[in-house]
Amino acid sequence: MSNTRDNLLVIPLKNKVLLPSVVLCLELSGQQAVYLVDKYTSSQQDDTESNKSITLPVVGCIPFKSSAKDIDDNNHSWMNGPREILCDYGCTGRITRIVQQQHDPASTHDDKPICYDVYVEGLARFKALSYEQDTFGLRVRVSHISNRSEREAREAMAIFSTTTVPKFLQRLETLQVPLAQQLQEYVSTLPVPVLADMLVSIIDTSFEERLAMLMTEAVKDRIHLAQKWLTREIQSLLVSDTTTTTSTQDNILSKRQRASYLRQQLEAMRREIGSANDTNHADGMDDMTQLKQRLINAHMPEDAAHVALREFKRLQNMSTSSAEWSVLHNYLELMADLPWNTQSNSMHVDIAAAKKQLEDDHFGLDHVKKRIVEYLSVAKIKGDLKAPILCFPGVGKTSLGKSIATALSRKFHRIALGGVRDEADMRGHRRAYVSAMPGLIIQGIRRCGANNPVMLLDEIDKVSRSASHGDPAAALLEVLDPEQNSTFHDHYLNLPYDLSSILFIATANDIHTIPRPLLDRMEVIQLHGYTFEEKLHIARTHLLPKQIQRHGLAQNEIQMTDDVILWIAEQYTQESGVRTLERTLASVIRAKCVELADLRENDLGYQYASSVTQEDVLDILGVPPFDKETAGRQPIPGVVTGLAYSGSGNGGILFVEASKMPGSGDLQLTGSLGEVIKESAHIALTWIKAHAYDLKIATTKDEKILANHDIHIHMPQGAISKDGPSAGVTMVCSLVSLLTDTAVKSTTAMTGEISLRGLVLPVGGIKEKVISAHRAGIRKIILPERNRKDVIADVPINVKNDIELVYAKTIWDVIENALDQYAKSVKPLESHL
């Protein structure tokens, strides 16, 4: 039971039962009807004067018992009789509409009282507590019955909503009941207990059964009753294929009668629900009038308005029982909902606010944020917001798209393209097909309610191709081409729609899988992975506090130093983003939750240690899957430290080891090396052979070195594939160190591509390489001269101040700075330039 409501006016129901969510039309007359008409009219006037929501009159609808079938409910003499003729249970009802019945001029009964059709919407069950009489009728004091589902009712509710109801709706579609689709859309929004009441009221159930449904308090028992009767209804709609001809004809006739009955019930329910929810009914506006007004208010282009008017006239002349009626109605609903000329209030671009929004939402990503601010500045000066397409391969893509929308004060919509393989998913299906619908672009615009949202095409590199369903990428060509998207053609809409005001943002992890014509329509902005320092900042300010709060702990109950967080990031993650880091931190926090819960159960909570050490992390997470290389090894001739960059956005150091042995001058390469890095090794050896005399490896210019020796170059961690040109200078130094028996300091590292002419060429990933080398203990880094600009732009100032950065134009510059003691004994550099 729940709260009570005193003195509800009683409306008795004979052979009728009002259930929650159901609308009944009752015929009333006499003083009771006059009273309700007055209350209803007053509520309408109050709403008009105060511009507030309507407070409609509420009554108590109580059925007569089965034993009171002979009582005339319009004869109020029953009020003076015993209350036992009324049921103990009823339903509160809200008066949603009152219509005076038309008087028949041919009638000879002039003294017949005025009758009204009163539409009552069921609200909630109640149990009658006591009655009292007043001038306008009987009043009842009630106690409402809660509709809250018990825990044991959840299983029954799940079976009912996922099995029985879909079977019933499927059967209605098989019988081609016109309102089956509308009913399906309607029931999908209802709570299961309300759905059970509604279905019991529209299927073929007796008065006693509906009365039993009303009087059942437990939700679980009501679900079981609805399950039983709905299953019976489904069986009654089935026609056996194995009966005789006569019985088959009888069954078919019965089937048609049942279908006709259901059509009438559903049509009545649609009208009643429409009447109950139509707040504009007082102005005489029906559904068709509202639809026409919405089409007018949409302010469509001339060609679209012409099509809408033509299709609306067709709909007016079409029967609602026609199979095409719902198809055409849905089409016009789409045309009315589309924002043909509605835009977000974003014409004023606040650059300062946009910068603040991006800084608040994202740490790092300076290059990307700079490019976005540049775009906004151009848009502000130019006066419109048409834009190139920005593509973010990497991390933080979706959240960055949301930040752009927030900075522009625009609506945001995300379209997931992963696995999309049908062109119709983008362009829509033609209306001739069953269950046709618009494409993802038009659906997104309809949902946003504005024709200039920020639309994120997520994972555009994962669009699939299908030989039989067309290529979705081909449809995207028109969407992303500024010269074509002003007349985008959706198959369902079958009209040109202007997409030129939309800011499209496409995201991808690998741009190499994007079709070339599609990639040409995008401006690619590389979104680099986070460095470990950036990950540390994100974990400290965002990830760790969020996970602590999510696990129900206070912020002071988990204490983790920066060294521990950085150690977790280095030893347990190897990614460009921070998702794995967040999951790893969550695992540590869960373990601390278990520890705290166990101590509190034994009243030992005071022994809980909030600090998390590396030893604690080892106990919780186990052996680290990744090992960080560090400097500080004993310098050995032939071993040189290089710099590496992984595609996940992380940098690191690696070692190049060279050794020679008796042989015939062969070169062996090991360590899971790719083709490019193998070519770098051959170039390094060729250059050394060509300059052996200058390097004082050969005693004469014509001496053939290594004729009786083999060279073996190895890069440790052989299980990890390695490729790229940036190890070229490292291999040269390794071979020179080996052949001259001169060691390179273990705190010196280098990177750069080499050419046969001895030039040092630029490489990528400089920021990540320098930061990781600094973290590994490297104090001197040799870089290509043409990468100086990358250091200036990307490397943090604290890192640059803590290490020595040397820039090399040629291999001789590298040798001079890596093998400084040996370099003093070779010829001056000028002779080699």
Work out the percent of the chain whose per-residue pLDDT is above 70. Answer: 79
**Residues classed as catalytic:** 726, 769
Residues in Cβ contact with 502 at an 8 Å cutoff, skipping those fewer than 6 apart: 445, 451, 452, 453, 454, 455, 485
Cα 69 from chain centroid?
57
Alpha-carbon distance 646 to 667, whole Å?
26
Work out the percent of the chain whose per-residue pLDDT is above 90. Answer: 22
Residue 760 is predicted with a pLDDT of 96
Residue 544 is predicted with a pLDDT of 93
Residue 282 is predicted with a pLDDT of 36
509: helix, strand or coil: coil
User: What pTM value is reported for the model?
Assistant: 0.52
Tokens matching residue 174: 């098989």
Could you report the per-residue pLDDT of 491-511, keeping only the tens digit for each?
A: 899 888 998 888 888 888 777
Residue 748 is predicted with a pLDDT of 93
Residue 252 is predicted with a pLDDT of 39
Strand partners, 468: none
What phi and psi values does residue 716 have, to the nearest 5 degrees? -55, 175
Which residue type does 117 have?
D
Contact by Cβ (8 Å): 319, 325: yes
Other C-beta atoms within 10 Å of 457: how many? 25
Length of the chain: 833
Residues in Cβ contact with 219 at an 8 Å cutoff, skipping those fewer than 6 apart: 147, 148, 149, 150, 153, 157, 193
Alpha carbon distances (Å) from 389 to 317, 462, 621 = 46, 18, 42
Residue 273 is predicted with a pLDDT of 45
Could you report the per-residue pLDDT of 634-646, keeping only the tens digit for each?
A: 888 999 999 988 7
Strand partners, 496: 489
Tokens matching residue 830: 């000028």
- 15-54 burial: b if 16+ Cβ within 10 Å, else e: ebbbbbbbbbebebeeebbebbbebbeeeeeebeeeeeee
pLDDT-based confidence at residue 677 (cuts at 50, 70, 90): very high
Other C-beta atoms within 10 Å of 334: how many? 18
Residue 68 is predicted with a pLDDT of 53
State yes or no: pLDDT of 246 exceeds 60.
Answer: no
Number of helical H runs and strand E runs in the chain: 30, 24
For the residues 349-358, what does the mean pLDDT come to? 77
Q: DSSP secondary structure string, 150-169?
A: PGGGHHHHHHIIIIIHHHHH
Residue that has been written with the tokens 């009823």 in this structure:
90
Alpha carbon distances (Å) from 197 to 214, 274, 672 = 9, 18, 69
Residue 740, CA atoms < 13 Å, CB-side half-sphere: 25
306: helix, strand or coil: helix
State yes or no: pLDDT of 562 exceeds 70.
Answer: yes
Residues in Cβ contact with 650 at an 8 Å cutoff, skipping those fewer than 6 apart: 529, 531, 532, 574, 575, 576, 768, 772
Residue 113 is predicted with a pLDDT of 72
State yes or no: pLDDT of 693 exceeds 80.
Answer: yes
pLDDT-based confidence at residue 757 (cuts at 50, 70, 90): very high
Could you report the per-residue pLDDT of 264-275, keeping only the tens digit for each?
A: 444 444 444 444
Residue 737 is predicted with a pLDDT of 93
For the residues 350-368, what does the mean pLDDT come to? 75
SS3 assignment for 646-696: CCCCCEEEEEEEEEEEECCCCEEEECCECHHHHHHHHHHHHHHHHCCCCCC
Specify the higher pLDDT residue, 480 or 32: 480
- 756-771 burial: b if 16+ Cβ within 10 Å, else e: eebbbbbbbbbbbbbb
Per mean pLDDT, which range of 512-521, 640-649, 764-773 is the poorest?
640-649
Residue 463 is predicted with a pLDDT of 83
State yes or no: pLDDT of 391 exceeds 70.
Answer: no
Alpha-carbon distance 664 to 686, whole Å?
16
For the residues 524-546, what does the mean pLDDT come to? 81
State yes or no: pLDDT of 702 exceeds 90.
Answer: no
Which H/E stretch holds residue 118? strand 115-134
Contact by Cβ (8 Å): 175, 238: no
Q: Are strands 496-497 and 488-489 parallel, antiparallel or unpaired?
A: antiparallel
Query: Can you say whether the dihedral through the CA atoms of 735, 741, 746, 747 is positive or negative?
Result: negative
pLDDT-based confidence at residue 103 (cuts at 50, 70, 90): low
Alpha-carbon distance 386 to 392, whole Å?
19
Residue 71 is predicted with a pLDDT of 61
Per mean pLDDT, which range of 440-444, 461-465, 785-789 is the poorest?
461-465
Provide long-range contacts, Cβ within 8 A and 24+ apart, for 790-799.
790/762, 790/766, 791/766, 794/367, 794/766, 794/767, 795/766, 795/767, 795/770, 795/771, 796/533, 796/771, 799/770, 799/771, 799/774
Residue 458 is predicted with a pLDDT of 86
State yes or no: pLDDT of 751 exceeds 90.
Answer: yes
Which of these, 501, 471, 226, 530, lies nearest to 387 by C-alpha position?
A: 501
Residue 594 is predicted with a pLDDT of 92
Specify the higher pLDDT residue, 692 or 389: 692
Alpha-carbon distance 88 to 260, whole Å?
35
Alpha-carbon distance 221 to 228, whole Å?
11
Angle between helical axes of 366-382 and 351-361 (0-180°, round to 10) = 160
State yes or no: pLDDT of 28 exceeds 70.
Answer: yes
Query: Can you say whether the dihedral through the CA atoms of 14, 19, 21, 22 is positive or negative?
Result: negative
State yes or no: pLDDT of 250 exceeds 50.
Answer: no
361: left (phi over 0), alpha (psi -120 to 50) or beta: alpha
Residue 505 is predicted with a pLDDT of 85
- 79-93 burial: b if 16+ Cβ within 10 Å, else e: eeeeeeebbebbbbb
Alpha-carbon distance 341 to 301, whole Å?
9
Q: Which of 473-477, 482-486, 731-735 has the highest mean pLDDT?
A: 731-735
Could you report the per-residue pLDDT of 291-319, keeping only the tens digit for each?
A: 888 888 888 888 888 888 888 888 888 77
Contact by Cβ (8 Å): 742, 819: yes
Residue 606 is predicted with a pLDDT of 87
Alpha-carbon distance 327 to 341, whole Å?
25
Could you report the per-residue pLDDT of 155-213, keeping only the tens digit for each?
A: 778 788 788 888 888 777 777 665 566 677 667 667 888 888 888 888 888 889 999 99
Chain mean pLDDT for the chain: 80
Alpha-carbon distance 601 to 593, whole Å?
12
Which of these, 652, 629, 677, lies nearest to 768 by C-alpha position?
A: 652
State yes or no: pLDDT of 25 exceeds 70.
Answer: yes
